Amino acid sequence: MQVLTFLIPISLLLGGLGLVGFVYTLRSSQYDDPDGDSQRILSSDWDDKPKP
């Protein structure tokens, strides 16, 4: 049972990280153009260097 004192906080922390990640993506408007985002990975613009 000793192992629970580690496992429960770890599982909560990992889940919480996922939640924080989701909140971040939602706040930064990453779900506004799902179709566009799925197509943009196919374009070769800015492949050699990131967009300034």
Partner 1 sequence: MTAAIRTQSPSACPACVAAPSAEAIAARAEALKEARIALSLPTIHCAACISTVEQALNAYPGVKEARVNLTLKRANIAADATVDPADLVRLMEATGYEAHELDVATIQATATDKAGRELLMRLAVAGFASMNVMLLSVSVWAGAADATRDMFHWISAAITLPAIAFSGQPFFRSAYSALSAKRLNMDVPISLAILLAVVMSVWETALSGSHAYFDAALTLTFFLLAGRYLDHRTRAVARSAAEELAALEVPRAIRLEDGQEITVPAAELRIGDLILVRPGSRCPVDGEVIAGASELDRSLLTGETVPVAAAVGTLISAGEVNLTGPLTVRANAVGQDTSLHRMADLVAIAESGRSRYTSLADRAAKLYAPGVHALSALSFLGWLIYSHDVRMSLNIAAAVLIITCPCALGLAVPAVTTAASGRLFRKGMLIKHETALERLANVDTVVFDKTGTLTEGTPVLSNLGDHSRSDLEVALALAEGSDHPLSRAITTAARAAGVKPATVTEITEIPGHGTQGIWRGQTVRLGRGDWLGAPAVEITSAWLAIGDAAPVQFGFVDDLRAGAADTIAALKAAGKRVILLSGDSAAPVADLAARLGIREYQANCLPETKLHYIESLSEGGAHVLMVGDGLNDTAALAAADVSISPATALDAARVASDIVLLGRDLTPVAESLVTARKATRRIRENFQIATGYNLVAIPLAIAGLTTPLIAALAMSSSSIIVSLNALRLR
Q: What is the rounded CA–CA span in Å between residue 16 and residue 45?
A: 35
Question: What residues between 1 and 52 interact with partner 1 by CB under 8 A?
Answer: 1, 4, 8, 11-12, 15-16, 18-19, 22-23, 26, 29, 31-36, 39-43, 45
Residue 30: DSSP 8-state: T
Please report how close the Cβ of residue 14 comes to partner 1 at its closest, in angstroms: 10
| Contact criterion met (CB below 8 Å) for 19 and 25 | no
In the chain, the N- to C-terminal Cα span, in Å, equals 53
Residues that bind partner 1 (CB under 8 A): 1, 4, 8, 11-12, 15-16, 18-19, 22-23, 26, 29, 31-36, 39-43, 45
